[in-house]
Structure 1
Amino acid sequence: MTAVQGDSFPRLRRRLSGWSDGLSRIGLQTKFYGYTLKGIWDAFRYYKTEIIRLIAQMGLGAGALAVIGGTIAIVGFLTLSTGALVAVQGYNQFATIGVEALTGFASAFFNVRLIAPLTAGVGMAATIGAGATAQLGAMRINEEIDALEVIGIRTIAYLASARVIAGVVVVIPLYCVAVLMSFLAARVGTTVIYGQSSGVYDHYFRTFLNPVDLIWSFLQAVAMALAIMLVHTYYGFTASGGPAGVGEAVGRAVRTSLIIAALVTVMISLAVYGQSGNFNLSG
């Protein structure tokens, strides 16, 4: 009996300790997110120049990345490929039942509600978000953040809140490019490659494209950008362990932000469209 107790209690303590550490990390992250959102006003008030610099850097990139247009060009190419995939899969799947004319419906329905927001979120997490985590992590391990605090700079507002504001601002043209590229790729793939009449495609595309869905999709992209930037700034701000720790923080941040982006998409889609998708097709 003694041997059994001696074997079980350490396991129980380790399990309880793991749960306690997990809840503690959630509490610390929530506290940081609260301070970051609270610091948005201070960032607008005291650090407007830094916000403008970050917007330019995130949108157009720096160095060699600026040559191809930065994040906006990268997300444009990503959504171009996903829009082409809608044309390929949609046309072939509808053709099996003889309704390939509905490919325009697939572009208007799936690109707006799922594909364009998620693709923009993935592109933002992999470029803007990862860059923010790496920058803040490098500043943390080089003790630059501590130096800013010593001279009286509000570090969370200056470093985290400013990047959250810049990310939300940059996602506006980012998402516009993403939606347009996905529409363009689907139309070109269907009408040029598969030879469908452009009139037929445009008829079904315009019939099923709901402007209200575009507005909700845009708000969904903004919510995703806010969540992604909060996650990435936290992991960068709390990085430790030297250069290897910064790399680990970037990996953890990207993984977490991708999960958050998918969760935000599901939550908003269910809240706005419901289980049925608010869609009825009848002949």
Structure 2
Amino acid sequence: MPNLKAAWQKLDRAADIFWLPFIRILDETGNIFALIASAFTWLVRPPFRLSLILQSMDFIGIGSLGIVVLVASFTGAAFSLQTVYMFQMFQAEAFIGVTVAITLAKELSPVLTALMVTARAGSAIATELGSMRITEQIDALKTMAVSPIQYLVAPRIVAGIIMVPLLTMVFNLIGIFGATLVAVHVMGVDPGQYWHNIYWFIDAKDIIEGLIKAAVFGLAFSSISCYQGYYATGGAAGVGRATTRAVVWSSVMILFIDVVLTDILLIVNRPTM
């Protein structure tokens, strides 16, 4: 019996190790969705804080423009370089431009843009809201009959949804420019063939799919960052932990959502026989 009891206790502890984190993830996911629902509910209630939304759009969008342009130029150049080498092995240079353009529009641009914005703006949002929580500024808003969700969370979520797609469009343009510079002017790919295939094979739906992903990524990173900062505890160290969780979980969710949305969009756009 003692051996059976000890074995049961070990099994119980092992179950806790694997089960409790799963329960905690589900609990936090539910809380994030509740925060999103509350934010959108407050958006349609007066007073309408358009100025706060514009300020958040400036911080998330304009503030992240430099890093997005930098990453886009290097990404387009590097991806084009690899594509040229691979396609030249199979005498398929005609498809270099369209391959680079479609990959940027549907995958690389929305994902990398969202990750860059998360690293810069998401961490700042979590830190700012976490500091306000620790210093009781959020509680002070409540005492003044101001909803912290409406004042602090909703503008940032809306700004994330709007600005990540806009930054993705910038990433597309700069990325294709960098790719063209390398492919045409460095590697000697025929420019007429390069642009001809981009013109004929790129559809509006390819760009729209990338923008849909970007909008969902914007919702994901902004809501997770707001949630982690809004409910931060434990003083200055707690703010640091909240910021770390915001960046890590936002990045993981962006990649997870990308896989799910890619599968869904492929099913929706599957040609009928």
Which sections of structure 1, spanning at least 5 residues, go unmatched? 61-69, 279-283
SS at match of 1:39: helix
Partner residue in 1 for 2:59: 57
TM-score, with normalisation over the residues of structure 2? 0.90
TM-score, with normalisation over the residues of structure 1? 0.87
**Is the alpha carbon distance of 1:21 and 1:98 closer, same or farther for their aligned partners in structure 2, counting shifts above 3 Å?**
closer
Q: Which of 150, 162, 185 does residue 157 from structure 1 map onto?
A: 150
Give the superposed CA RMSD: 2.2
SS at match of 1:152: coil
Partner residue in 2 for 1:77: 70
> Counterpart amino acid of 1:152?
A
**Is the alpha carbon distance of 1:32 and 1:149 closer, same or farther for their aligned partners in structure 2, counting shifts above 3 Å?**
farther
> Counterpart amino acid of 1:5?
K
Asked whether 1:26 is paired with 2:19, we answer no
How many percent of aligned residue pairs carry the same amino acid?
25
Worse-matched range after superposition: 75-84 or 40-49: 40-49
**Is the alpha carbon distance of 1:227 and 1:211 closer, same or farther for their aligned partners in structure 2, counting shifts above 3 Å?**
same
CA distance in 1, matches of 2:269, 2:76: 24
Matches within 5 A, 1:110-259: 110-259=103-252
SS at match of 2:105: helix
1:13-62 residue CA offsets vs partner (Å, 9 max, x unmatched)? 563486346425522441342233332242453222222222222223xx
Which sections of structure 2, spanning at least 5 residues, go unmatched? none
> Counterpart amino acid of 1:86?
F
**Number of residues paired by the alignment?**
269
SS at match of 1:195: coil
Kindly state the Cα deviation for residue 90 of structure 1 after the two structures are TM-superposed: 0.3
**Is the alpha carbon distance of 1:143 and 1:225 closer, same or farther for their aligned partners in structure 2, counting shifts above 3 Å?**
same
**Is the alpha carbon distance of 1:200 and 1:79 closer, same or farther for their aligned partners in structure 2, counting shifts above 3 Å?**
same
Kindly state the Cα deviation for residue 124 of structure 1 after the two structures are TM-superposed: 1.5
- Structure 1's consecutive aligned runs of 4 or more residues displaced over 4 angstroms after TM superposition are 275-278
2:56–2:156: 8 Å Cα contact kept in structure 1? yes
Asked whether 1:37 is paired with 2:32, we answer no
SS at match of 2:180: helix
CA distance in 1, matches of 2:3, 2:237: 41
SS at match of 1:180: helix
Kindly state the Cα deviation for residue 133 of structure 1 after the two structures are TM-superposed: 0.7
Partner residue in 2 for 1:89: 82
Worse-matched range after superposition: 86-95 or 243-252: 243-252
**Is the alpha carbon distance of 1:16 and 1:272 closer, same or farther for their aligned partners in structure 2, counting shifts above 3 Å?**
same
CA distance in 2, matches of 1:111, 1:49: 33
Kindly state the Cα deviation for residue 271 of structure 1 after the two structures are TM-superposed: 1.1
CA distance in 1, matches of 2:94, 2:194: 6
Kindly state the Cα deviation for residue 10 of structure 1 after the two structures are TM-superposed: 5.7
CA distance in 2, matches of 1:277, 1:127: 36
**Is the alpha carbon distance of 1:277 and 1:103 closer, same or farther for their aligned partners in structure 2, counting shifts above 3 Å?**
farther
2:42–2:149: 8 Å Cα contact kept in structure 1? no
